[in-house]
């Protein structure tokens, strides 16, 4: 398995890095996890455009994880992509399809089949990818209830497994506790270092994980803790670096 961090920025954009996106090659499959703004540029840079990707997974609907999907789809359409593309969405796929159509990017004109699925179904198509329910959006419950909104607060991480071991991409999380059942099975974890409390991240050092890559920014609390007590297990994810398992 090999993977490349295409985007490591937190929700606040900056000039030096891109918004969330992770490319993973597992076996013969080429998979993209999250699609923040600027992902199309990174796909071009790494020659992952046109017919390369097999599937795109969106972890949740914050714009720094979703906003790039519209330009990626337009790019693939204009490149005359031919093979099917699977798009896995966390909730309300019809709403995303409506947004695509709102931008006059009609899938009826695509040169390739766009197959849209719920993230819960991803193992039916790619058994090496296991969706993991996370707690990132649960804090919005009161707003959603008060406004009688259709949001379902669905948010996922993804574990990708091959013969060399397992890679867990947490995407955004409120705590690492929501991942406790799956963490012991992972060789490498790409973890949100901004949202969880520092103690939630630091305790992973004793979970048997071989490598923890910090992404999506870092909280001041975690930065200070790692500076005071360095650990070889923790490292900052770097864009455009090819990692292997």
Q: Tell me the per-residue pLDDT of 46-57, one tens digit each, with 9 for 90 and over.
A: 999 999 999 999
Whether the Cβ atoms of residue 172 and residue 134 lie closer than 8 Å to each other: yes
> Is residue 173 domain-resident?
yes
- Determine the pLDDT at residue 207: 87
> Is residue 206 domain-resident?
yes
Rounded CA-CA distance 6/4 in Å is 6
Q: Tell me the per-residue pLDDT of 87-114, one tens digit each, with 9 for 90 and over.
A: 999 999 999 999 999 999 999 999 999 9
> Is residue 242 domain-resident?
no
> Is residue 243 domain-resident?
no
Q: What is the DSSP string of 104-128?
A: T--GGG-SS-EEEEEGGGHHHH-TT
> Is residue 98 domain-resident?
yes
Q: How confident is the model at residue 75 (pLDDT cuts 50, 70, 90)?
A: very high
> Is residue 244 domain-resident?
no
Whether the Cβ atoms of residue 32 and residue 39 lie closer than 8 Å to each other: yes
- Determine the pLDDT at residue 185: 86
pLDDT at 13 over 90: no
Whether the Cβ atoms of residue 70 and residue 99 lie closer than 8 Å to each other: yes
> Is residue 137 domain-resident?
yes
Give Cα 136 to chain centroid, integer Å: 13
The separation between the first and the last C-alpha atoms of the chain, rounded to the nearest angstrom, is 6
Tell me which residue range forms the domain holding 18: 2-237
Here the CATH number for the domain that contains residue 156 is 3.60.15.10
Number of domains composing the chain: 1
CB neighbour class for 223 (10 Å; exposed up to 12, middle 13-18, buried from 19): middle
Token pair 């979703």 in the structure block, residue: 66
Model's pTM, two decimal places? 0.97
> Is residue 245 domain-resident?
no
Sign of CA dihedral 176, 179, 181, 186: negative
């Amino acid at each position: 398995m090999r993977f490349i961090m295409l985007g490591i920025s937190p929700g606040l954009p900056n000039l030096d890095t891109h918004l969330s996106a992770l490319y993973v090659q597992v076996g013969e499959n080429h998979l993209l996890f999250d699609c923040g703004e600027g992902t199309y540029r990174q796909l071009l840079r790494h020659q992952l455009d046109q017919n390369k990707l097999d599937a795109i997974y969106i972890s949740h609907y914050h714009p720094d994880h979703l906003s790039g999907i519209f330009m990626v789809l337009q790019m693939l359409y204009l490149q005359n992509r031919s093979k099917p593309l699977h798009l896995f969405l966390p909730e309300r796929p019809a709403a995303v399809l409506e947004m695509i159509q709102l931008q006059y990017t009609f899938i009826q004109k695509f040169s390739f089949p766009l197959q849209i699925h719920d993230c819960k179904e991803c193992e039916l198509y790619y058994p090496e990818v296991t969706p993991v329910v996370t707690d990132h959006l649960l804090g919005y419950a009161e707003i959603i209830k008060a406004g009688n909104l259709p949001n379902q607060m669905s948010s996922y991480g993804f574990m990708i497994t091959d013969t060399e071991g397992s890679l867990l991409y947490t995407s955004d999380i409120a705590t690492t506790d929501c991942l406790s059942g799956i963490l012991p099975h992972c060789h490498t974890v790409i973890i949100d270092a901004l949202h969880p409390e520092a103690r939630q991240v630091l305790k992973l050092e004793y979970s048997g994980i071989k490598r923890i890559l910090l992404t999506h920014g870092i909280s001041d609390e975690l930065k200070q803790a790692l500076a005071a007590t360095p650990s070889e297990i923790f490292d900052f994810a770097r864009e455009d670096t090819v990692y292997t398992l």
